[in-house]
């Protein structure tokens, strides 16, 4: 295979999508290298992914809401540390949601959700 052909093959694989996936994989490896927990590594990877491929801010508010919904139950069951951990995850998603929200109001394009129209109606 000539160098020109090799470059052509490389170009075929070096699509925007593949580069983004590569960066996210690197982010995961970075988390593993630093000894982070799986969930922290996953959230970090999501953070990197939404920078590369912006999604609607309201989508990011859902995981935050999910984690936060669990905290009062954990508090009642006296699992205070777990509750705080979930609040921290909610915080991470809040940061991402606000970031994306600002990106949107500044005119940035984000991926639309299927149930977007329904939410707007509400």
Q: What part of residues 10-69 is at the interface with other proteins (CB under 8 A)?
A: 57-58, 60-62, 64-65, 68-69
Report DSSP letters for 32-101, one per residue: HHTT--HHHHHHHHHHHHHHHS-B-HHHHHHHHHHHHHHHHHHHHTT-HHHHHHHHHHHHHHHHHHHHHH
Span near other proteins by CB under 8 A; candidates 1-9, 11-19, 21-29, 80-88: 80-88
Q: Which of 22, 34, 102, 108 binds other proteins (CB under 8 A)?
A: 102
Rounded-to-integer distance, Cα 122 and Cα 104, Å: 20
**Binder of other proteins out of 8, 38, 88, 108 (CB under 8 A):** 88
Count Cα atoms within 13 angstroms, Cβ side, for 58. 11
Q: Which is nearer to other proteins, 2 or 120 (CB)?
A: 120
Rounded CA-CA distance 88/63 in Å is: 12
- Site residues (CB under 8 A) for other proteins? 57-58, 60-62, 64-65, 68-69, 71-72, 75-76, 83-84, 87-88, 90-91, 94-95, 97-98, 101-102, 104-106, 119, 121-122
């Amino acid at each position: 295979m000539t160098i020109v052909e090799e470059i052509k093959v490389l170009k075929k694989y070096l699509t925007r999508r593949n580069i983004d996936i590569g960066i996210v994989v690197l982010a995961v490896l970075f988390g593993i290298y630093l000894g982070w927990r799986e969930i922290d590594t996953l959230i970090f990877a999501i953070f990197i992914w939404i920078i590369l491929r912006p999604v609607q801010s309201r989508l990011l508010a859902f995981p935050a809401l999910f984690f936060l919904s669990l905290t009062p139950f954990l508090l009642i069951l006296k699992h205070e540390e777990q509750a705080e951990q979930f609040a921290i995850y909610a915080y991470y998603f809040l940061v991402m949601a606000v970031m994306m929200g600002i990106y949107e109001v500044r005119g940035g394009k984000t991926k639309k959700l299927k149930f977007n129209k329904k939410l707007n109606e509400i």
